[in-house]
Amino acid sequence: MSAVFTADNMIFMARGLGVTLVIALFTIFLSFIFGSMLGIARFINKGWFSRFAGIYVDCIRNIPLLLFIIGFRFTLPLPPMVSAITAMTVFTASMVAEIVRGGLYSIPKGQWEAAYSQGFSFVKTMAYIVLPQAVKKILKPLMGQFVSVLKDTSLCQVIAVKELMYSGMIVMGKFVTGTQVIIMYGFIALVYYVVNTVLLKASERITF
């Protein structure tokens, strides 16, 4: 037990957690922006950009994230962290787009018609009437997706990004007995569990 939780190990793991959080935050932020754009474009369903968004979402959503992470690392000249964030953003944007589109579709037609009858333009209807209602419906699935992003950062270990899981594996390299390894795996699982639960609980408290 004391061999597992030494100060050195913990600092090393904390650094790993930091990398995990950095990747997750960048991915969440970027994929939220791109995903919303794609989702709104798919909802409007007019013009070349919405057609592109449809194809993009259909293709990217049905290919495993691991393929993007490995593929981008080996084919694009980017540093490991950047290529990991790019791959995860490309993938997550398509998931977010579907969630946003679903939320927009769930707003009844009557809301649009009422706003138009009051002389609102399309953009104003979107900004003042539809989006504020859609945000409430989007929030829960979106948070679920962001928890997925946090879990999926563990895939970045295949391209040797030193995130939590990879740091854990490195630390495990110097353990001798099976008990130490088991404790370490339990500890890693617990850290992911706590971070995700905190994120979920925090999102439940957001009210509009």
Site for other proteins, rule CB under 8 A: 58-59, 61-67, 70-71, 74-75, 147, 151-155, 157-158, 165, 169, 178, 181-182, 185, 188-189, 192-193, 196-197, 200
* 81 vs 73: CA distance, rounded Å: 9
Query: Which tokens is 198 given?
Result: 């905190």
160 neighbors 16 (Cβ within 8 angstroms): no
Interior CA angle at 53 toward 49 and 56, to 5°?
A: 135
Give me the least distance between CB of 120 and other proteins, in Å please.
26
Tokens of 115: 């706003």
CB of 156 to other proteins, least distance (A): 10
One-letter amino acid at 129 equals I
Give the residue with the Cβ less far from other proteins, 135 or 169. 169
Q: Nearest approach, Cβ of 39 to other proteins (angstroms)?
A: 14
Which residue, 44 or 70, has its beta carbon nearer to other proteins?
70
* Phi, psi at 9, each rounded to 5°: -60, -45
Nearer to other proteins, 125 or 157 (CB): 157
76: region left, alpha or beta (phi > 0 left; psi from -120 to 50 alpha): beta
CB of 32 or CB of 192, closer to other proteins: 192
Q: How far is the CB of 157 from other proteins (least distance, A)?
A: 7
Q: Give the whole-angstrom CA distance, residue 34 versus residue 41.
A: 11
- 125 versus 153: smaller Cβ distance to other proteins: 153
What is the nearest approach in angstroms of other proteins to the Cβ of residue 33?
Answer: 24
- Dihedral angle at the C-alpha atoms of 99, 101, 107, 113, nearest 10 degrees? 170
